Amino acid sequence: MYSTGGIADRFADLVRSAEARMSGPLPAAVRFWDGSEFGPGEAGDAADTIVLKNSRALTYAVSRPDQLGIARAWVAGDVELEGDLYRVMDAGARLYGFDFSIREKLEAVRIAARLGLIKIPPPKPPASEARPAGRLHSLRRDREVIQYHYNVSNDFYRLILGPTMVYSCAYFTSPEDSLEEAQTRKLDVICRKLDLKPGERMLDIGCGWGSPIMHAAANYGVEAVGVTLSEAQAAMARERIAEAGLDDRCEVRIQDYREVPDGPYDKIASIGMFEHVGSSQLDRYMEAVASLGRPGGLALHHGICRMHTDEESPNTFITRYVFPDGELHRVSKVTAALERSGQELRDDESLREHYACTLRHWVANLAANRDRVIAEAGVERERIWRLYMTASALAFERGDIAVHQLLAIIPEENPVGLSRPRSPLTLARPSFVADGA
């Protein structure tokens, strides 16, 4: 490891000690606001450089020596990257689980104090940090956190998601598929799994900007109701429905899943919803779905699940800047709650690699429209979404998280047979994702 003097030299011995215990070299060089830097190998070897633009970057880290401190520095623009964000985050993944020793932490505090980086009070968090209030998963708080994420700007989301306005995993068959083709295919896969028939009543819990109910009504002849807690989403969904001439078959409500009064529905879709529910409400959510469906009807639960057993911290970049109060469950926990509600699980399909590919498309859209994104939502939001989507793509590719589609039958007294639900488009493991498609 090299160091070029200045502030870098103050931390060099500490970093060398830690690097000796790492499974490989540092993932990038680090340059300080005085121009000094340290990094792996010899000077000039590192392909990527993390730039600390001012002392506040380190003050954030010292005041919150966890993921949240670094996240605040990134969102505030005090930390920049010269290089490739995918490459740095992928290389940094091998450091998961690594921790500094008590001696090293005390030494870091001593150095920070000598540099005047320990301040009371600490710097305020960036303006975009979420600060939800009230009882966790109360109706009022859930409305607040949903609007925090989804009421950013409809045009902001259009620039990232593309014309389909679908904010969940697409369904790819080849690397040549456009995002629009893959998202339209995903909507059709869901409709086919639900075995939609003309005249049936369909409920979409967490309907977003209306794409699933519009696709179902236009192509399968159902009468569809979508519920969302986002006023911005609802407004745009209603506009899109009117433009498509589907007013007589689609309705969008600003309504919590706990407030839907008019079951039963023949078919229920829940796409990217149970991540917002929380462990304490998962049973209640599944019971609500079971009560809203007609006996013998179908429900499809599509959501992101974690693939490790570690409990999630409430003080992460994602929980403070992306999905406040969001929680990823093990798929076993989701299916257990589903079964306790009386629903019969009939099919489970993992779309992990498809979501990695979807996110890479979204990151590319964000990069291509960066100036317009900033004009719509501000600099902080652009930085948040860039980091969040890049990290998420890599997490899906590594297998840290996955997305599952669970198809279930609503309980009935005398179960009848069900035609094969799995789409013939299923890909067991689309290898093109691993190639960076």
Provide CATH 3.40.50.150 ranges for the chain.
Answer: 139-435
Residue 410 has pLDDT above 70, yes or no: yes
Provide CATH 3.30.1050 ranges for the chain.
Answer: 2-114
What is the spatial distance between Cα 103 and Cα 252, in angstroms, rounded to a whole number? 57
Residue 112 has pLDDT above 50, yes or no: yes
> pTM for the whole thing?
0.93
**Pairing outcome for strands 79-82 and 29-31:** unpaired
What CATH number does domain 2-114 carry, 3.90.930, 3.40.50, 3.30.1050, 1.10.8?
A: 3.30.1050
Q: Which residue has the tokens 């589907």?
A: 246
Question: What pLDDT is stored for residue 117 in this prediction?
Answer: 86
What's the number of CA atoms in the CB half-sphere (13 Å) around residue 225? Answer: 20
Residue 373 has pLDDT above 80, yes or no: yes
The pLDDT tens digits of the residues spanning 272-298 come to 999 999 899 999 999 999 999 999 999
One-character DSSP codes across 260-327 = --S--EEEEEEES-GGGT-GGGHHHHHHHHHHHEEEEEEEEEEEEEESS-PPPPSSSHHHHHT-TT--
Does domain 139-435 sit in CATH 1.10.3210.10? no
The pLDDT tens digits of the residues spanning 169-189 come to 999 998 889 999 999 999 999
Question: What pLDDT is stored for residue 271 in this prediction?
Answer: 97
Residue 436 has pLDDT above 70, yes or no: no
Over residues 137-144, the mean pLDDT reads: 95
Residue 333 has pLDDT above 90, yes or no: yes
Question: What pLDDT is stored for residue 423 in this prediction?
Answer: 55
Question: What pLDDT is stored for residue 437 in this prediction?
Answer: 42
What does the DSSP 8-state code read for residue 43? T
